[in-house]
Amino acid sequence: MSCPKCGSGDVMLLPSNEFACKHCGHKWPIPQVDYSWVEVEVKKARLFERYIDAPIETCERLLAELAKELNERDARILAAKILLMRAYRRRLSQSELQRLHAEADKCFQ
């Protein structure tokens, strides 16, 4: 951290949650870290676990559930991921695998 005004690295943290430059006296707030993407990732992981073994076989229905909690783009990607991961987890036959892959493709149509 260095002073945005004079560039000095001689900076201290104030109890008011501000930084102050010891060199020029400039004060500025601690930048707020945006954690919203972490919440989205946690939500996706939670949804993945909830639906990976759910008896929902079509992308359409899966999307309808996921879209309640995610934006459309995230919901489509997650729905496809769930269908494909399910195929790998279940060690399906070739024809069942193809059906799940085809269903996953529908998520992007």
Q: Are 62 and 83 in contact (CB under 8 A)?
A: yes
Sort residue 17 into left (φ over 0), alpha (ψ -120 to 50) or beta.
Answer: left
Report, in Å, the least distance between residue 23 CB and Zn ion.
4
Report, in Å, the least distance between residue 50 CB and Zn ion.
51
5 part of the interface to Zn ion, by CB under 5 A: yes
- Cα-based distances in Å from 29 to 7, 23, 77, 103: 16, 17, 37, 50
Stretch that binds Zn ion, among 22-30, 74-82, 85-93, 94-102 (CB under 5 A): 22-30
23 part of the interface to Zn ion, by CB under 5 A: yes
Based on CB atoms, which residue is closest to Zn ion, 31 or 55?
A: 31
Report, in Å, the least distance between residue 21 CB and Zn ion.
3
Stretch that binds Zn ion, among 12-20, 21-29, 35-43, 91-99 (CB under 5 A): 21-29
